[in-house]
Amino acid sequence: MKQISFATTITQSKAATVTGTQRGEHGLPTRENTARVAAWLAGKAPEDMDRAAVSRALSRGVELRVRYEGRYPVGADGERLPSYTIAVGCEMQGTLEQAQAALVDLRNFMTPAPLRDIEGWLARLSVVVAKRKDDAFSEELRVVEYASRLSRYPADVVHSILLGTTWRFFPTWAELERLAEAMTSPRRCMIAALERGPTPPPLERRAATEEEKARIQALVDEMFPQRGGMKP
């Protein structure tokens, strides 16, 4: 699989409003709040939520820079599969206190949908795409297992994969997992950066002084006397 690296900095001048924990609050989310956040996320596009997450962090004084890589998969028979991008890292600028405040907000963007909702989305998908006919038990088992695994991802990601993506056949778990991991990767990288804390500033490099250059040259001449004594 070929891959190409690139970096993207997303900044927003206005913070997006996210339901759930209110601005300035740091209490534990309630079940009611969690359900409300999940329902709100399910109606949004993952790309918009990534931008909203960055904007929300910026409102806390934290700037996030997400790094992406391109993926160009090839099928078993050598055919080219659809390319996609995945986040591979993130840097943050801000204080530790600002990072902790932003972390509370960012975790809301990872809220999963209730299992019942995911099962309903899977049922809707199953009636609009071609799929292998199984017995009732196998069908039910598949829905339950898929829903359980998909509950590890944000509600907007799962909703977009199941009902916002064009599928010709009912997708395998490998296909769903690949998309879910790619779509969730930006927010995971953001959260990891906030948990690490501020990115250390780059080391300052200065040019060597004439005295330092002379001392280095003396060491070289001492180690390689023949070379030092050679003349053109």
Span 103-159, pLDDT tens digits: 999 999 999 999 999 999 999 999 999 887 777 888 889 999 999 999 999 999 999
User: For position 137, what pLDDT does the model report?
Assistant: 83
User: For position 60, what pLDDT does the model report?
Assistant: 95
Task: Please report which confidence band the pLDDT of residue 227 belongs to, taking 50, 70 and 90 as the band edges.
Answer: low
User: For position 4, what pLDDT does the model report?
Assistant: 44
- The DSSP output letter for 169 is B
Average pLDDT for 189-204: 86
Q: What is the mean pLDDT of the chain?
A: 84
Domains of the chain, by residue range, sit at 2-196
Task: Please report which confidence band the pLDDT of residue 9 belongs to, taking 50, 70 and 90 as the band edges.
Answer: very low
In this predicted structure, the answer to whether residue 87 has a pLDDT above a threshold of 80 is yes
User: For position 5, what pLDDT does the model report?
Assistant: 44
Question: Packing angle between helix 46-59 and helix 96-108, nearest 10 degrees?
Answer: 150
Burial class (CB in 10 A: 0-12, 13-18, 19+), 2: exposed
Strand order in the sheet with 63-72: 2-9, 63-72, 84-93
CB 62 within 8 A of CB 194: yes
Q: Rounded to 5 degrees, what are φ and ψ at 52?
A: -65, -35
Average pLDDT for 216-222: 83
Number of neighbouring beta carbons within 10 Å of residue 129: 12
Task: Please report which confidence band the pLDDT of residue 206 belongs to, taking 50, 70 and 90 as the band edges.
Answer: confident
Number of neighbouring beta carbons within 10 Å of residue 187: 24
- pTM of the model as a whole: 0.73
User: For position 210, what pLDDT does the model report?
Assistant: 86
Span 88-102, pLDDT tens digits: 999 999 999 999 999
